[in-house]
Amino acid sequence: MILVRKGNPKNIRDWSDLGRTGVSVIIPNPKTSGNGRYTYVAAWGSAIQAGVSPDAARALLTRIFANVPVLDGGGRGATTTFAQRNLGDALVTFESEVPLIEREFGANFEVVYPSRTVLAENPVSVVDKVVDKRGTRKQAEAYLQYLYSEAGQEIAAKHHLRPRSAAVLARYVKVFPKANTFTVDDVFGGWKQAQKDHFDDGALYDQIIASAKR
């Protein structure tokens, strides 16, 4: 999600607006931060999903990162830069972080839901080697099933995590507005391929940053 100053003075509505002249964007470093990496794939994927070419997506990301005054090492640093140091017109962060930011720094911000964004999935699995060694397979599998039960999804929603259950989501529609999302698999062919194409040394992200600094 895109967090903007109260009143949205720069009229930021979508990813393309983050690349406009005169807009300052706070994004943590995608090389060191999951938040930053998700921001990158959200902006790139949104462009691709809208039907633009990879070259046009690259141009958009170059404009966006040219507007980033400082690449903090992680999401917390970026939040401090935006909310406490008052640097930047927009902060890109996870949806679940917004209530926490408002609780700590006050309701001086507004949330912008872009036309498309990436679904930030929280992976969870039972590790066979571990549960078999410790004899905890039954408990681990029960926990995994509970996470996706109605009760488990209700707890997730109360802690600001968008529920995957349609029934629970419907009960929290005012908290979680409708969002048009895609996955990393949809656009990039999975994280392994995204890493190779975009985040390995010398890959697209490094090329984009080099161009953005010119």
| Band of pLDDT at residue 107, cut at 50, 70 and 90 | confident
Kind and range of the H or E run holding 4: strand 2-5
Beta bridge partners of 25: 90
Q: What is the pLDDT of residues 17-63, one digit of tens each?
A: 999 999 999 999 999 999 999 999 999 999 999 999 999 999 999 99
Task: Tell me which residue of 4, 61, 105 sits closest to 207, measured CA to CA.
Answer: 61
User: What's the CA angle centered on 82, arms 180 and 212, to 5 degrees?
Assistant: 75
What percentage of the chain has pLDDT greater than the value 70?
100
pLDDT at 214 over 80: no
CA dihedral 45, 48, 53, 55 (to 10 degrees): -10
- Residues 9/86, Cβ–Cβ less than 8 Å: no
Q: Two tokens at 97?
A: 């972080």
Residue 62's pLDDT is what? 98
Question: How far is 157 from 140, CA to CA, in rounded Å?
Answer: 22
Task: Tell me which residue of 66, 58, 39, 28 sits closest to 203, measured CA to CA.
Answer: 58
Residue 121's pLDDT is what? 86
Instruction: Sketch out the chain's domains with CATH numbers.
Output: 2-121+183-212 (3.40.190.10), 128-171 (no CATH)
Residue 176's pLDDT is what? 94
Longest dimension (CA), the chain: 58
pLDDT at 72 over 80: yes
Residue 123's pLDDT is what? 85
Question: How far is 47 from 153, CA to CA, in rounded Å?
Answer: 31
Mean pLDDT of the residues in the chain: 95
The alpha carbons of the chain give a radius of gyration, in whole angstroms, of 19
Across 154-172, average pLDDT: 94
Residue 213's pLDDT is what? 82
Ranking 24-28, 105-109, 183-187 by mean pLDDT, the lowest is 105-109
Task: Tell me which residue of 158, 108, 156, 84 sits closest to 3, measured CA to CA.
Answer: 108
Question: How far is 113 from 205, CA to CA, in rounded Å?
Answer: 24
Question: How far is 153 from 146, CA to CA, in rounded Å?
Answer: 8
Residue 202's pLDDT is what? 96
Across 101-105, average pLDDT: 93
